[in-house]
């Protein structure tokens, strides 16, 4: 069996303390290209996990290039512990930081899908506060959804949904990707306001490549254009996929993602 075909096994660390502690699963493919090579970091979207198509394809690219690849499941997702309904951007960001600091790479290329794009942007802000922490070398954002709770959900809430938030602390919405409905909690929405990034200049400290479908029913392409306005100091490339949906998981979409990541690897 070749090294590229070996699937690394999940490991676990604890994020949070006391009653708030939860076991977070991650998979780390070790590098063959040397300790100074960048680590590819996969950040999933809402209700997605590290076993998805794009995450697995990113891991395959790492195997083929000899790079390390780090994937994790947020609490309430995939193999990780914790309840999904306890999840917030702050909570999932805390878990991402905990795993990243545990692995402690020198250089990182972050790849975030949908909500993972929001977490990637917040991660950049938090890493900027750590003196000798991991350094972002590049960021690939796929249908990024920063501030989606305040910009894409709250303005369109129906009276029934607002009443459900008030009375039950959550509301449900039919999912196009799962037989189970999406659940949005009051805690998620309130915490989302505290994690907004589209309020001023976002300093990522690295080049950014955004891939956005123009037929995305969940994150309109105008949202990607809005994001660019908040990245004035970064080298930003925006690629519109005319017939692309939200997932961007078709073979041609995967190839675009891998090409964008490879461009950062070669820098």
For 244, residues 6+ apart whose C-beta sits below 8 A from its C-beta are 211, 212, 213, 214, 215, 216, 253
66-97: pLDDT as tens digits: 999 999 999 999 999 999 999 999 999 999 99
Confidence of residue 1 (pLDDT cuts 50, 70, 90): very low
* pLDDT at residue 178, as a whole number: 83
Burial class of residue 10 in the structure, from the number of CB atoms within 10 Å of its CB (0-12 exposed, 13-18 middle, 19+ buried): middle
Residue of 145, 150, 149 lying closest to 114 (CA atoms): 145
* pLDDT at residue 260, as a whole number: 98
Least confident of 61-75, 94-108, 176-190, 249-263: 176-190
The span from the first CA to the last CA of the chain, in angstroms, equals 31
Confidence of residue 4 (pLDDT cuts 50, 70, 90): low
Percent of the chain past pLDDT 70, that is, above it, reads 98
DSSP tally for the chain: helices H, then strands E: 8, 10
Confidence of residue 233 (pLDDT cuts 50, 70, 90): confident
33-60: pLDDT as tens digits: 777 889 999 999 999 999 999 999 999 9
CATH of domain 3-145+205-265: 3.40.50.1820
196-223: pLDDT as tens digits: 999 999 999 999 999 999 999 999 999 9
Strand partners, 133: none
141-173: pLDDT as tens digits: 999 999 999 999 999 999 999 999 999 999 999
Percent of the chain past pLDDT 90, that is, above it, reads 90
Q: Residues of 168-197 as b/e, b for ≥16 C-beta within 10 angstroms? A: eebbeeeeeeeeeeeebbebbbebbeebbb
Sketch the domain layout of the chain as residue ranges: 3-145+205-265
Query: Please, are residues 197 and 230 in contact by the beta-carbon 8 Å criterion?
Result: yes
């Amino acid at each position: 069996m070749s090294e590229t075909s070996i699937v690394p096994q999940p490991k676990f660390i604890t994020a949070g303390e006391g009653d708030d502690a939860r076991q977070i699963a991650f998979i780390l493919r070790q590098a063959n290209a040397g300790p100074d090579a960048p680590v590819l970091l996969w950040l999933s979207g809402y209700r997605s996990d590290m076993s998805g198509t794009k995450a697995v394809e990113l891991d395959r690219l790492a195997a083929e290039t000899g790079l390390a690849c780090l994937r994790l499941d947020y609490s309430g997702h995939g193999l990780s512990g914790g309840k999904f309904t306890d999840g917030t951007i702050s909570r999932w960001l805390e878990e991402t930081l905990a795993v990243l600091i545990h692995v402690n790479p020198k250089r990182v290329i972050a790849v975030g899908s949908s909500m993972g794009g929001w977490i990637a942007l917040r991660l950049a802000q938090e890493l900027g506060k750590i003196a000798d922490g991991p350094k972002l070398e590049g960021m690939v954002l796929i249908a990024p959804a920063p501030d989606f709770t305040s910009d894409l959900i709250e303005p369109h809430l129906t009276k029934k949904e607002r009443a459900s938030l008030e009375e039950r602390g959550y509301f449900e919405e039919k999912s196009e990707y799962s037989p189970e409905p999406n659940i949005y909690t009051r805690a998620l929405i309130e915490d989302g306001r505290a994690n907004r990034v589209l309020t001023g200049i976002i300093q990522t400290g690295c080049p950014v490549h955004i891939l956005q479908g123009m037929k995305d029913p969940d994150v309109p392409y105008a949202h990607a254009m809005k994001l660019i306005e908040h990245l004035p100091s970064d080298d930003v490339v925006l690629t519109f996929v005319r017939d692309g949906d939200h997932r961007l998981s078709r073979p041609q979409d995967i190839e675009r993602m891998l090409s964008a990541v490879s461009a950062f690897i070669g820098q």
